């Protein structure tokens, strides 16, 4: 409803529906209707109906584009706060679809340098790789895509565990230029998302350029030609070298399963599986199942496994914070689908509403206040308040079992590790008769099950590892050799860094998507981030082709200053200061994963590359 009133003001040019008494609370926890009371909703519905009916009766005449002042008024209403004028260009880009696609390249290779041989290899056909392929196609830059799997989809191809679904609303967590009015769920299941990416691949016309079941084993930059030699190996073992001018690495951060270093892990005699490599042939019905881990993945599959298993033992090392999202598993209401389909501009405003609710609007609750002395439990007053809301939720769910409640309440600041969405499924699972939660540390895995530090052996027929991914090991599976024979992993020494998450000095024309420091914590959309990243990459290629340069590298001092800025930013956030295990920090204690600033700042820095940040190489 708040997005609808804003849409109607935009469509009609009449801002009067944006009444002071209807200013919403865009806080994530305020709910879908922005914290409106029943009375406010009763006031807003007939108002919206009246304006919408008049718009229809008037022939759906959309008012001329609003002035910047009017856009600010709409923005301030929807966000419930006077927002910075800097958000207006971002908002306009967000609202552009379906009339235009402002993140698409506004140039073509033919215009810039038609005769030049210039081909790109894209590694991976997850969400980022498909996106990059589409943008290259739009710009007329030839490309080939190499994919190790048998199909596209990346995360959604690999994670087939029961209950896998997106945990940012898919109306926002999808391509801005390929929106869908008919998402069946607010938070779609893995199969729906996989279908979306398959469909996009076909609609974008990029499937024919994909070499499936093929892996890149190495990439070497040949300085004499300013070209990359990319060694690939297909499923039948055949090896080949591709010579290309640029590489896009779109291999993701969260796809190499991490098994815990628990003694005896190899000794277990029953079947064991990892959440990201689910073996659907392993029978769980009626079995004694042990689950290690309780992060975002386990929190999705455990409630379903609990319904099948005879007995389920959950081993929790660190409790997760759970945020209540009542519509987490709900279908999209027909009314919302109708608005998305038929009311012009509604999809854009609804998307922006989600954007604000789950991204920049949430950041203050994750920021560490330097004046806040004790960072053990909370990192600021806003963080403490957030923790209280989450504690109240769990208390409401499990308050009748004080021992269990005590076990699941975290003692670290929210947002220092991943917060998990919940609609009651997790606490309800813990309350089941066939489920036990163990918080004693695991001493070893035995042939028959799991032994905890108190000496008890918990027998199991199957062990499931919900133990996450090797997130810090960026690109360690392939050898990437840049200028002067420098090896990327040797240069990084285990501490991956990049300029804007995309480029690394010494590695010209090598661009990473979802690279170091591009993960968002409190929430957000990796898809939205990828769109910004690809916009930047396309800007670099434009500079390259327009200037007739051979290659583009990043200046070391620029790269270092950028990383310092990001490191300082991360150290001012909950995940940077709190001492709690998570994949948000690497073995050096540095966050090589996260982006600590607003999405606005990310978008601004990605709009156009500054040539002064780069070194251009001529053959
Ligand atoms: P994770 O967040 O890294 O969680 C791993 C779990 O395994 C934690 O509970 C961890 O305990 C436990 N663990 C690891 N090693 C252990 C050991 N040696 N002994 C005992 N317990 C151990 O992994 P994840 O749940 O797969 O999620 C990873 C990320 O993937 C998420 O943060 C999210 O970004 C993404 N994801 C997204 C979605 C979605 O959007 N729907 C769903 C799933 C995952 P500690 O907490 O003590 O380390």
Residue 152 and residue 191 share a domain: yes
Produce one character per residue of 199-236: b if its CB has 16 or more CB atoms within 10 Å, e if not. ebbeebebbebbbbebbbeebbbebeebbbebbbbeee
Tell whether 426 and 488 lie within a shared domain.
no
Residue nearest to atom 33 of ligand 1 (CA): 296
Q: Nearest 10 degrees: CA dihedral of 349, 350, 351, 353?
A: 90
Residues 485 and 414 in one domain: no
CA of 396 to the centre of ligand 1 (A): 25
Using left for φ > 0, alpha for ψ between -120 and 50, and beta otherwise, residue 313 falls in beta
Ligand 1 pocket list (CB less than 6 A) = 165-167, 254, 260, 262, 275, 292-298, 300, 317-318, 418, 442, 466-469, 581, 583
- Is residue 261 assigned to a domain? no
Q: Give 297 Cα–ligand 1 centroid separation in angstroms.
A: 6
What is the rounded distance in angstroms from the CA atom of residue 348 to the CA atom of residue 332?
A: 17
End-of-domain residue from the set 436, 465, 494: 465
Residues 379 and 311 reside in one and the same domain: yes
Token pair recorded at residue 157? 């191809």
Q: Are residues 499 and 530 in the same domain?
A: yes
User: Could you give the CA distance from residue 80 to residue 75 in angstroms, rounded to a whole number?
Assistant: 8
Same domain, 197 and 227: yes
513 and 531 part of one domain: yes
Number of continuous H segments (helices) and E segments (strands) in the chain: 19, 21
- Nearest Cα residue to atom 17 of ligand 1: 260
578 falls within a domain: no
According to the model, what pLDDT value does residue 357 have?
83
User: CA of 273: how far to CAs of 9, 63, 157, 261, 462, in Å?
Assistant: 53, 57, 17, 15, 8
Which pLDDT does position 2 carry in this prediction?
96
Task: Give domain status of residue 172, yes or no.
Answer: yes
Angle at 280 between CA 275 and CA 284, to 5 degrees: 85
Q: How far is the CA of 592 from the centre of ligand 1 (A)?
A: 17
Catalogue the E-assigned strands of 223-301.
Answer: 227-234, 239-244, 246-249, 272-274, 288-292
Probe residue for ligand 1, chosen from 168, 317, 584 as the CB with the greatest number of ligand atoms within 8 Å: 317
User: Is 315 part of any domain?
Assistant: yes
* 166 prior amide bond cis, ω within 30: no
| Residue where a domain stops, chosen among 443, 465, 487 | 465
Look at residue 585 and tell me if it is in a domain: no
- Whether residues 70 and 174 share a domain: the answer is no
**Residue among 256, 278, 297, 329 to mutate when testing ligand 1 (max atoms within 8 A of CB):** 297
User: Considering the entire predicted model, what is its pTM?
Assistant: 0.96
**206 and 79 within one domain:** no
Cα–Cα nearest to 160, from 204, 114, 183, 192:
192
Q: What's the pLDDT score for residue 523?
A: 62
Picking from 404, 434, 465, the residue at the C-terminal end of a domain is 465
Residue numbers of the domain that contains 240: 109-255+471-563+598-618
Instruction: Tell whether 179 and 123 lie within a shared domain.
Output: yes
Which protein residue has the closest C-alpha to ligand 1 atom 23? 468
Contact present, 226 and 508 (Cβ < 8 Å): yes
Dihedral sign of CA atoms 424, 430, 431, 435 in order: positive
Nearest CA residue ID for atom 45, ligand 1 = 318
> How far apart are the C-alpha atoms of 108 and 593, rounded to whole Å?
33
Looking at the structure, tell me whether residues 540 and 609 fall in a common domain: yes
Closest-CA residue, ligand 1 atom 37, reads: 296
The segments of the chain whose pLDDT lies below 50 read: none
Q: Which secondary structure element, helix H or strand E, spans residue 210, and what is its range?
A: strand 210-211
Q: Is 100 exposed, middle or buried (0-12, 13-18, 19+ CB in 10 A)?
A: exposed
| List of residues 6+ apart from 132 with CB closer than 8 A | 122, 143, 248, 250, 513, 534, 537
Full strand arrangement of the beta sheet holding 462-465: 272-274, 462-465, 288-292, 311-315, 435-438
Decide if 262 is inside a domain.
no
CA 103 to centroid of ligand 1, rounded, Å: 33
**Domain membership flag for residue 527:** yes
Q: What is the 45 CA–ligand 1 centroid distance (Å)?
A: 42
Q: Specify the ligand 1 atom closest to the Cα of 298.
A: 25
Dist. CA 273 → ligand 1 center (Å): 15
Tell me the per-residue pLDDT of 424-481, one tens digit each, with 9 for 90 and over: 999 999 999 999 999 999 999 999 999 999 999 999 999 999 999 999 999 988 999 9
Residue 365, in any domain of the structure: no
Read out DSSP for 86-149?
Answer: THHHHHHHHH-TTT--TTS-S--HHHHHTT----EEEE--SHHHHHHHHHHHHHT--EEEE-SS
Q: Specify the residue with its C-alpha closest to ligand 1, atom 20.
A: 317
Q: Are 604 and 86 in contact (CB under 8 A)?
A: yes
Best residue for ligand 1 mutational test, from 296, 420, 521 (most atoms within 8 Å of Cβ): 296
Count of the separate structural domains present in the chain:
3
Task: Assess whether 403 and 312 both reside in one domain.
Answer: yes
Residues 6+ apart with CB under 8 A from 102: 92, 93, 96
Spacing, Cα 465 to ligand 1 middle (Å): 9
CATH of the domain at 558: 3.50.50.60
435 in Cβ contact with 312 (< 8 Å): yes
User: Could you tell me if 253 and 471 are in contact, meaning their C-beta atoms sit under 8 angstroms apart?
Assistant: yes
């Amino acid at each position: 409803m708040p997005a609808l009133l804003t849409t109607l003001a935009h469509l009609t040019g009449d801002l009067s529906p944006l009444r002071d008494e209807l200013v919403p609370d865009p806080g994530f926890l305020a709910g879908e209707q922005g914290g409106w009371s029943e009375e406010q909703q009763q006031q807003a519905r007939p108002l919206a109906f009246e304006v919408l009916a008049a718009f229809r009766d008037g022939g759906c005449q959309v008012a001329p584009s609003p002035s910047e002042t009017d856009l600010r008024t709409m923005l301030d209403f929807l966000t419930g706060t006077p927002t910075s004028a800097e958000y207006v260009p971002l908002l306009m880009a967000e609202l552009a679809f379906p009339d235009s696609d402002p993140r698409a390249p506004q140039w073509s290779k033919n215009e810039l340098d038609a005769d030049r041989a210039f081909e790109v290899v894209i590694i991976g056909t997850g969400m980022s790789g498909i996106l990059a392929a589409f943008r290259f196609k739009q710009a007329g830059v030839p490309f080939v895509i190499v994919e190790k799997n048998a199909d596209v989809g990346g995360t959604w191809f690999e994670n087939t565990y029961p209950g896998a679904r997106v945990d940012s609303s898919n109306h926002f967590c999808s391509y801005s230029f390929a929106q869908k009015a008919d998402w069946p769920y607010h938070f779609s299941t893995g199969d729906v998302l996989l279908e979306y990416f398959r469909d996009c691949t076909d609609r974008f016309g990029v499937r024919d350029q994909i070499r499936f079941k093929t892996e890149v084993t190495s990439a070497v930059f040949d300085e004499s030609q300013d070209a990359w030699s990319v060694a690939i190996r297909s499923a039948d073992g055949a090896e080949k070298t591709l010579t290309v001018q640029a590489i896009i690495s779109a291999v993701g951060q969260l796809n190499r399963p991490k098994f815990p270093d628990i003694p005896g892990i190899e000794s277990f005699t029953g079947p064991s599986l990892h959440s990201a490599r689910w073996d659907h042939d392993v029978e769980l019905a009626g079995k004694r199942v042990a689950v290690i881990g309780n992060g975002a993945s386990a929190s999705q599959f455990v409630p379903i496994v609990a319904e099948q298993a005879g007995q389920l033992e959950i081993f929790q090392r660190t409790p997760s914070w759970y945020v209540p999202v009542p519509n987490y598993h709900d279908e999209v209401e027909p009314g919302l689908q109708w608005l998305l389909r038929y009311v012009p501009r509604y999809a854009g405003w609804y998307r922006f509403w989600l954007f604000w609710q789950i991204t920049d609007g949430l950041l203050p609750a994750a920021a560490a206040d330097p004046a806040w002395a004790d960072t053990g439990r909370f990192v600021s007053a806003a963080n403490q308040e957030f923790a209280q809301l989450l504690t109240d939720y769990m208390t409401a769910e499990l308050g009748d079992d004080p021992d269990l409640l005590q076990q699941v309440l975290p003692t670290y600041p929210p947002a220092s590790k991943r917060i998990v969405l919940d609609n009651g499924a997790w606490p309800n699972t813990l309350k089941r008769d066939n489920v036990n939660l163990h918080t004693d540390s695991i001493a070893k895995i035995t042939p028959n099950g799991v032994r905890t530090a108190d000496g008890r052996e918990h027998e199991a027929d199957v062990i499931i590892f919900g133990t996450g991914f090797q997130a810090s090991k960026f690109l360690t599976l392939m050898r990437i050799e840049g200028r002067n024979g420098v090896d990327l992993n040797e240069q990084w020494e285990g501490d991956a860094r990049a300029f804007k998450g995309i480029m690394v000095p010494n590695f010209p024309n090598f661009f990473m998507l979802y690279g170091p420091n591009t993960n968002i914590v409190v929430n957000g959309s990796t898809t939205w981030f990828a769109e910004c990243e690809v916009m930047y990459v396309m800007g670099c290629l434009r500079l390259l082709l327009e200037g007739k340069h051979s290659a583009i590298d990043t200046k070391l001092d620029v790269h270092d200053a950028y990383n310092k800025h990001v490191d300082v930013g991360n150290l001012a956030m909950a995940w940077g200061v709190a001492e709690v295990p998570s994949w948000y920090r690497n073995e050096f204690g540095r966050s090589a994963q996260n982006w600590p600033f607003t999405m606005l700042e990310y978008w601004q820095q990605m709009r156009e590359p500054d040539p002064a940040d780069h070194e251009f190489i001529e053959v």
